[in-house]
Amino acid sequence: MMTALCGALLLAYAGMLALCQGLERHYKQVWGKPPAIWLRRSLRAAGWLLVGLSLYASAQAWGWAMGPVGWFGLLSISAFSLALLLPYAPRLAVYWPLVGLPLWGVAYWLAV
């Protein structure tokens, strides 16, 4: 349950991050220059995909009845943490799921 839960949280944050970086003002906030159109579109698509995967992971953690409820909570808290983190530590906000997601992947593979 904990593995699925951590996965759901990481995926939710990563998804929100991608959607956020798909917005011009926040991409500029982190990288200093505006994103290319194709990059924006890819980030948004990736964001929605990750958010969808997060729902699946939530359902693995809580079942399909409670899963969606937990999913909304995870999405909201991830988005809020991201919004608060961005102005203070933009690189950290972006990089930590890049480290966290593979780490979790290893943990998941070990647990299975």
Residues that bind other proteins (CB under 8 A): 1, 5, 16, 20, 23, 25-26, 61-62, 65-66, 69-70, 72-74, 76-77, 79-80, 82-84, 86-88
Q: What are phi and psi of 94, to 5 degrees?
A: -85, -40
Shortest Å distance, C-beta 53 to other proteins: 18
Looking at the Cβ atoms of 73 and 100, the one nearer to other proteins is 73
Looking at the Cβ atoms of 30 and 53, the one nearer to other proteins is 30
Residue 4: closest CA among 48, 38, 54: 54
Looking at the Cβ atoms of 64 and 105, the one nearer to other proteins is 64
Shortest Å distance, C-beta 104 to other proteins: 16
Residues with Cβ < 8 Å from 8, sequence gap 6 or more? 54, 57, 58, 60, 61, 70, 71, 74
> Residues 12, 53: contact at Cβ < 8 Å?
no
